Chains A and B, each alone.
Chain A
Amino acid sequence: MENEYNLMSIRALIVDDSSVMRKIVERSLRQAGIDLTKVFEAGNGAEALVVLQENPVDLILCDINMPVMDGLEFVKQLGGVANAKDVPVVMITTEGGESHVVQALSCGARGYIRKPFTPEQVKEHVVPVLGGKS
């Protein structure tokens, strides 16, 4: 039951400069069996930090290449946001190089999904960081 509990009532923040991609990520999370009670969206890292000031979340999915503030800088700055410093972040990006993965994880991301992706891949990477088993 612990597994099911961890996937229920999740408040997620999806950060991507493409609104279409934000919708795809949201749909993939729902298809992965994650019960999203609230979904916040931001078009870049700076907007995401503003959203987090007012809104606590349980999960963040974040692109890397974005204008204004990219995903890596956003993850670095997340530690300074009282609401969000322990919130798991999973990167979703077209950047597939090993150095990008290492850089993202060393900045504090807990998972890394390459675009294009399937809902199964989203489940595989997101469920464990929510404390469940994929």
Chain B
Amino acid sequence: MKSVSELLATDGGHETWIPLLEMATREVFELMLGCQLTVAATAEEPAWEVTAMVGLAGQLCGVLSVRCHAKSAALMTSKMLGVTLDKVGPEVSDALGEVCNMVAGNFKNKIAGLAEGCMLSPPTVITGSDYSLRSLADFPGLEVRLLFESMPIVISLQIHS
């Protein structure tokens, strides 16, 4: 098995992580929210309303983000808390930040050497869609598009060398 640095040195080598990123995401939703994600048929690019981000530092440096609509974020929160949608309040940012944190942690735990050699930052959550996010990544980003209760979510990993 190639090390993280060997993979990053190989052109496109890190793209072998896409299935792991998808698996890490699916596991978080299955275990913590009790729902199965499905594959998005189209690569639509709607105006995302909530973005959660977790930084990675160490053997792998970058930013992992989860983007979705406000309605999706509220539904995730209701499932995590075990309450109806109308009972969801300001916990939405906390919930989406935790989802992002668990996806990032679960992802790095699937890659040899990263569980020990990569640290996660506390999550940051942005609400609203009128912004642009510019990472200093110098590798092509990895992206997984899935549907949560028929609503699109995007999980992205931007990698810095």
Q: A residues touching B (Cβ–Cβ < 8 Å)?
A: 17-21, 23-24, 27, 65, 67, 93-100, 114-118
A11 to B104 CA separation, bound complex (whole angstroms):
32
- Render B96-109 as a binary contact track against A, CB cut-off 8 A, 1 for contact: 01100110111011
**Least Cβ–Cβ distance between B98 and chain A, in angstroms:** 5
A19 to B31 CA separation, bound complex (whole angstroms):
18
Contact residues in A for B115 (Cβ distance below 8 Å): 95-98, 100
Contact residues in A for B101 (Cβ distance below 8 Å): 94, 115
- A65 near B120 with CB under 8 A, answer yes
A18 to B97 CA separation, bound complex (whole angstroms):
9
User: In the complex, given contacts A18-B94, A19-B91, what are 16 additional A-B residue pairs having Cβ atoms less than 8 angstroms apart?
Assistant: A17-B122, A18-B98, A19-B94, A20-B95, A23-B80, A27-B82, A93-B105, A94-B101, A94-B105, A94-B120, A96-B115, A114-B105, A115-B101, A115-B105, A117-B32, A118-B31
- A94 near B102 with CB under 8 A, answer yes
Q: Which 7 A-B pairs have the closest CB atoms?
A: A94-B105, A96-B109, A97-B115, A97-B116, A116-B31, A20-B95, A116-B32
Q: Which of A20, A94, A97 contacts B80 (CB 8 A)?
A: A20
Verify if B27 is at the interface (C-beta below 8 Å from A): yes
A20 to B81 CA separation, bound complex (whole angstroms):
7
Contact residues in B for A115 (Cβ distance below 8 Å): 32, 101-102, 105-106
- A116 near B97 with CB under 8 A, answer no
Contact residues in B for A27 (Cβ distance below 8 Å): 82
**Least Cβ–Cβ distance between A133 and chain B, in angstroms:** 23
A-B contact count (CB 8 A): 63
Task: Given A96-B115, A97-B115, verify A20-B109 contact (CB < 8 Å).
Answer: no
**Least Cβ–Cβ distance between B31 and chain A, in angstroms:** 4
A114 to B32 CA separation, bound complex (whole angstroms):
12
Task: Given A27-B82, A98-B115, A98-B116, verify A20-B105 contact (CB < 8 Å).
Answer: no
A96 to B104 CA separation, bound complex (whole angstroms):
11
Could you give 23 example pairs across A and B, Cβ below 8 Å? A18-B98, A19-B91, A20-B77, A20-B91, A20-B98, A21-B98, A23-B80, A67-B122, A94-B101, A94-B102, A94-B104, A94-B106, A95-B105, A96-B109, A97-B109, A98-B115, A100-B115, A115-B101, A115-B102, A116-B27, A116-B28, A116-B31, A116-B106
